[in-house]
Amino acid sequence: MNIILQDIGRRYNREWIFRHLDYTFSFGKSYAILGPNGSGKSTLLKVLTGSLTPSEGTIEYRMEGDKPVEIDQTFQYISYAAPYVELIEEFTLAEHLDFHFKFKSFLPGYDLESVKEQLGFAKGVFQKEIRHFSSGMKQRVKLAMACCVDSKVLFLDEPSSNLDKAGEKWYLDLVEKTKNDRVLIIGSNQEHEYAFCDEYVEILKYK
């Protein structure tokens, strides 16, 4: 899938968060959307995922063979992890993974057991309710569920938030294993999160 932006802009009230953005995100490449806190990275990601509509311009999603995808159908082709995406706190981790993968297919080469192994938690953790997890553990769960889904586009917003040094290494290993054969778009202001990306988009250039 390719994502084609033509003169995209988004504003809140009278303030433009970004404007006049022309860009194409191409299948098989990794992209970093860069900028300081509050610059509009997350807003752009929400526009790209279809959870926000642009205030001006057009956004097109096109499959191989140039087949267009309607905006209300894009959810079938994307996966998304961000610190502000909530987990179901009352579920155990095992219940949450079962629930998640009833709606999303596994990335080729993965199944429920290999996702559990990728998380790297002790066996007893999977029977604990999510509400008892640390912020770092929750972030690992969000990242694993997004990366191990068979999606055409993977969005990661501030992916190493709440992760310690070991967690950051775990994140980079996970992304290296799962980033091929899709579009990967990362919103970040931490170089270690995106140093491997092919192209960078500086959001402040579109103020």
What's the pLDDT tens digit per position in 111-169? Answer: 999 999 999 999 999 999 999 999 999 999 999 999 999 999 999 999 999 999 999 99
* Inter-residue contact 26 to 189 (CB < 8 Å): no
- Domain spans in the chain, listed from the N-terminal domain onward: 2-206
Q: How far apart are the first and last CA of the chain?
A: 27
Task: Tell which CATH architecture fits domain 2-206.
Answer: 3-Layer(aba) Sandwich (3.40)
**What angle do the packed helices 93-103 and 135-147 form, to 10 degrees?**
30
Please say whether the beta carbons of 47 and 54 come within 8 A: yes
| Paired residues of 31 in beta bridges | 185, 199
Q: Which amino acid is at 50?
A: G
Least-confidence region, from 71-80, 85-94, 183-192: 71-80
Give 25-67 pLDDT, tens digit per residue: 999 999 999 999 999 999 999 999 988 999 999 999 998 777 8
Alpha-carbon Rg for the chain, nearest whole angstrom, is: 17
Shortest CA distance to 179 belongs to which of 196, 162, 157, 164?
Answer: 196
CA distances from 151 to 2, 81, 105 (A): 13, 13, 8
